[in-house]
């Protein structure tokens, strides 16, 4: 049905409780790749092999760098508020002895969020980064899998991130909260041409 000029269309917003009930009763299946952002359920892009490899390589490197100073969560829910529960590719969390068994971590628990974009670069930059800024996530990386360019965001404000830069594949990349340890994406997961094949 088409919307005519002058019609008012109201979206029905979904809360996190509604979202979890939808999963419990089978409206959302166990294999559905979805996430809740600002009260709307979004389909997530399928995970390609390059996307998966980058996530695995980054998770291993961040775990080595962080040691006991942080928990590396891979594609786990992060409860931002009552209407948003994204599942970032990687979230670096403040350490807790229970590993967040009692409840999903919230924005104050996150040190770094990493999103790897194979087909979702515009969505990650235009929808998820502003959402993370509004909730005070201190640092966000959005990695363009095709070029291995990392869009790095620091110092969140209500309007977005005060600092942003693009780090090329061979440029140094490091989490501000973990100090001076940095490495390039090309070194973390070399291109086939970098390996001599």
Q: Residues 104-132: pLDDT tens digits?
A: 999 999 999 999 998 889 989 999 999 99
DSSP string across 84-95: BB---SEEEE--
Contact between 89 and 114 under an 8 Å Cβ cutoff? The reply is: yes
CA proximity to 51, closest of 177, 142, 153, 171: 142
pTM: 0.84
Q: Indicate left, alpha or beta for 17 from its phi (over 0: left) and psi (-120 to 50: alpha).
A: alpha
First to last CA, the chain: 54
The CATH classification number of 47-195 equals: 3.90.1570.10
Model pLDDT, residue 148: 93
Model pLDDT, residue 193: 56
- Positions in the chain short of pLDDT 70: 1-11, 20, 192-197
Model pLDDT, residue 197: 39
Residue boundaries of the structural domains of the chain = 47-195
Q: Residue 126: count other Cβ atoms within 10 Å of its Cβ.
A: 9
Biggest alpha carbon distance in the chain? 62
Model pLDDT, residue 39: 74
Model pLDDT, residue 46: 77
């Amino acid at each position: 049905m088409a919307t005519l000029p002058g019609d008012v269309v109201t979206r029905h917003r979904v809360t996190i409780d509604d979202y979890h009930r939808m999963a419990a009763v089978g409206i959302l299946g166990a294999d559905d790749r979805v996430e809740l952002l600002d009260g709307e359920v979004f389909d997530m892009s399928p995970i390609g092999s390059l996307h998966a490899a980058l996530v695995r390589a980054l998770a291993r490197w961040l775990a080595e760098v962080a040691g006991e100073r942080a928990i590396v969560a891979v594609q786990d829910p992060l409860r931002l508020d009552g209407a948003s529960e994204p599942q970032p590719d990687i979230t670096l969390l403040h350490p807790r002895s229970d590993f967040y068994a009692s409840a999903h971590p919230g924005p104050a628990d996150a040190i770094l969020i990493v999103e790897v974009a194979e087909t979702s670069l515009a969505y990650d930059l235009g929808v998820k980064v502003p959402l993370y800024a509004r909730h005070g996530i201190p640092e966000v990386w959005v990695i363009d899998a095709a070029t291995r360019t990392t869009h790095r965001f620091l110092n969140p404000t209500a309007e977005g991130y005060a600092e942003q830069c693009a780090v090329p594949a061979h440029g140094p990349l490091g989490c501000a909260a973990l100090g001076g340890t940095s490495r390039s994406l090309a070194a973390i997961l070399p291109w086939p041409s970098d390996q001599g094949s």
